[in-house]
Structure 1
Amino acid sequence: MFIRHEKSVKEFMQYYPIVSTIVIIHIALWLTINVLNLPFAVEFYRFGVGSNYGIMQGEYWRLITPIFLHGDLMHMLFNSFSLVLFGPALEQMLGKVKFPIAYLGAGIIGNIGTYFLASPLYLHVGASGAIFGLFGMYVYMVALRKDLIDAQSAQVVTIIFVIGLVMTFLRSNINIYAHIFGFIGGFALAPLVLKNVRSYSPWRNVRRYRDPGDESEIKFIQTVGIKRGEFRSKFEET
């Protein structure tokens, strides 16, 4: 589930448009705010940063906008890389409507937890609450929907989640509340969004987006029936 099979960035964007769009937003906002220092972008950052005091004043958009903002380059790159690694399988499984709802829902739950438990003057930015929400959905699969995740992927999820959880409490400048409540949000949303979904398959993307005129991925195989001596043929996808 977490090994990329795409041949190019263009192909990745074609297969996973929601994940690609979110990553592009991460990069564009960071560049316009921190590198180009454009006035409108800096103003957006000021009005978009997670602020418990601002939420107390009725600025409820601050429960959403921090999910797309980051403090420094490594913060942005790490969260974007995590999304590229763990987002595609869920985007394929959930679809283009349920995936962004689940992703943002987990991030918002993480920010709500931050609002109720952190100081009124607490400020925060970052997508890590939403990304921990993805972990929550995967852990739900590992625990209660083993039909949706293979054993190797389940092991990868468990190991990385444990490492991420430990690092949450060891590293400084981490919004612990967003991580914990984002995970809880993802786990709680999982039974709703995973209902009637199929497990991830990289070949489903190939079949869905392959050019009908492209025969490079198809081989024509001929076999001979031994018992009745009849000639049979079939297509095999590779």
Structure 2
Amino acid sequence: MTIFTRTENFREFIRFYPMVSIIVTIHIVLYLLTILPVFPNNWFFENFSGVNLYIMEGEVWRLITPTFMHSGFSHMLFNSFSLILFGPALERMLGSGRFLFIYLFSGIAANVATLMFEPLSYTHVGSSGAIFGLFGYYIAIIIFRKNMLTKQNSQIIVVLCVVSLIMTFLQPDINVIAHLFGLLGGFLVGAIPYFNKRDLSESVRTTASWAGSQRKNISFQSPVKVLIWAVIIILAILGFWR
């Protein structure tokens, strides 16, 4: 059984993964508010979507709020499902606070990059940049702390990441910059060393078994190694963008 297999019931899921549950709830609530006749038509999109021109004019909250907005039901459902699939393992591994930091940092990095590389008229919504940040963090674990994941889980993550990147360039109307820089943001955070991470080297069958996992001190990674990998990813992103 992989770390992406969910066996919890609804109440257990909320208790074990409160931050994932809160973010998904925000997705659903904001979507409902955009379709229900409670606020003026398109009020949420007009005030919270990512519009580069408005950000440059000082509406800096638009670097955060687009991460929780979606353009339609299928968009919201797909991103929420992706978060439910890939988020719990990291939240359990890192704790809710650190998980939220990675998620927001990746989402903001994606939105800042969109501001830098897309025209002022560009408008965007969606949490995919933040979700790609989770992929980036997983990749950093695979590269720098191989003992934290089984070979099976590592292979699954790599395959899913590669497929997701390929689909990024094949599907229409995708914010490619957000996906790539969200991935980079999560990777860079994952490359920063800290202590007392959970050891996930054994396959986890239930969430309760995660709680009993032993913590191990992780040694600092070489800054040169981190820098080299960061440069490689940045060059790859620039190459794709050209």
TM-score by length of 1: 0.82
1:149-168 equivalence runs, <5 A: 149-168=149-168
Deviation for aligned residue 1:31: 1.2
- Per mean C-alpha deviation after superposition, the further-off stretch among 118-127 and 189-198 is 189-198
* SS at structure 2 position matched to 1:39: coil
Deviation for aligned residue 1:194: 5.6
Task: Please list the CA deviations of residues 41-84 of structure 1 after superposition, one character each: whole Å capped at 9, or x if unmatched.
Answer: 84233111001101110111101000000001111011000000
Q: Which residue does the alignment assign to 1:141?
A: 141
Structure 1: distance between partners of 2:183 and 2:88: 18
Task: Please list the CA deviations of residues 130-150 of structure 1 after superposition, one character each: whole Å capped at 9, or x if unmatched.
Answer: 000000001111112111111
Structure 2: distance between partners of 1:108 and 1:193: 21
Structure 1: distance between partners of 2:76 and 2:4: 20
* SS at structure 1 position matched to 2:126: coil
Task: Please list the CA deviations of residues 84-132 of structure 1 after superposition, one character each: whole Å capped at 9, or x if unmatched.
Answer: 0000010011112111011000110011110000011100000000000
Q: Which residue does the alignment assign to 2:50?
A: 50
Q: Which runs of 4+ in 1 moved over 2 A?
A: 40-45, 191-196, 199-209
Structure 1: distance between partners of 2:127 and 2:179: 10
Q: Which residue does the alignment assign to 1:113?
A: 113
Give the direction of change, closer, same or farther, for the CA distance of 1:180–1:14 in structure 2 (3 Å limit): same
1:199-214 equivalence runs, <5 A: 199-200=199-200, 201=204, 203=206, 205=208
Say if 1:98 and 1:193, in contact at 8 Å, map to a contact too. no
Say if 2:20 and 2:91, in contact at 8 Å, map to a contact too. yes
- Per mean C-alpha deviation after superposition, the further-off stretch among 40-49 and 185-194 is 40-49
Q: Which residue does the alignment assign to 1:67?
A: 67
The residue identity in structure 1 corresponding to 2:143 is: A
> Rg: which structure is higher?
1
Structure 2: distance between partners of 1:125 and 1:46: 11
Kindly tell me the number of residue pairs found equivalent between the two proteins: 207
Q: Which residue does the alignment assign to 1:23?
A: 24
Deviation for aligned residue 1:40: 6.2
Pick the structure with more strand per residue.
Answer: 1
Give the direction of change, closer, same or farther, for the CA distance of 1:202–1:93 in structure 2 (3 Å limit): farther
Say if 1:29 and 1:41, in contact at 8 Å, map to a contact too. no
Structure 2: distance between partners of 1:117 and 1:47: 22
Q: Which residue does the alignment assign to 2:96?
A: 96
Root-mean-square deviation (CA, aligned residues, Å) is: 1.9
Structure 2: distance between partners of 1:193 and 1:66: 29
- Per mean C-alpha deviation after superposition, the further-off stretch among 193-202 and 180-189 is 193-202
Say if 1:102 and 1:193, in contact at 8 Å, map to a contact too. no
